[in-house]
């Protein structure tokens, strides 16, 4: 199928398929949120119940990397800037988020070529 930017149609050769599909992204997000839970900088930005956010992030990442369009079907266009506008996100929050996502990714079983 044809790839169009980051909103790609599901394709057999997508990163989504090569890393193991939805299960990979669910595990990645679980590992990420385990780190967020103990981070004093980030945890205050999240609601008490982390489960809805975990589902949304896993669905978004799966879609972004070539999986099914579940995120857009459920939540509409990502509009990431607008969805996060209510939060005070500066460099410390950004850096913590990126560090935790990288740590979560580094802890996953993934081929080096798929990692970057």
Domains (range + CATH), the chain: 15-109 (1.10.490.10)
Confidence of residue 4 (pLDDT cuts 50, 70, 90): very low
Cβ–Cβ < 8 Å for 43, 92:
no
Average pLDDT over residues 7-16: 64
Q: How many CB atoms lie within 10 A of CB 80?
A: 9
pTM across the whole model? 0.79
Residues 50-105 pLDDT 10s: 999 999 999 999 999 999 988 887 766 655 555 555 667 889 999 999 999 999 99
User: Could you give the CA distance from residue 3 to residue 44 in angstroms, rounded to a whole number?
Assistant: 37
């Amino acid at each position: 199928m044809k790839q169009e930017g980051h909103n790609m149609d599901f394709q057999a050769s997508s990163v989504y398929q090569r890393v193991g599909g939805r299960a990979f992204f669910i595990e990645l997000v679980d590992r990420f949120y385990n780190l967020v839970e103990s981070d004093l900088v980030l945890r205050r930005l999240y609601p008490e119940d982390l489960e809805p956010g975990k589902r949304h992030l896993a669905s978004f990442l799966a879609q972004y990397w070539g999986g099914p369009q579940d995120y857009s079907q459920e939540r509409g266009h990502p509009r990431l800037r607008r969805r996060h506008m209510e939060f005070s996100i500066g460099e410390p929050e950004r850096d913590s988020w990126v560090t935790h996502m990288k740590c979560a990714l580094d802890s996953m079983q993934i081929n080096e070529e798929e990692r970057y």
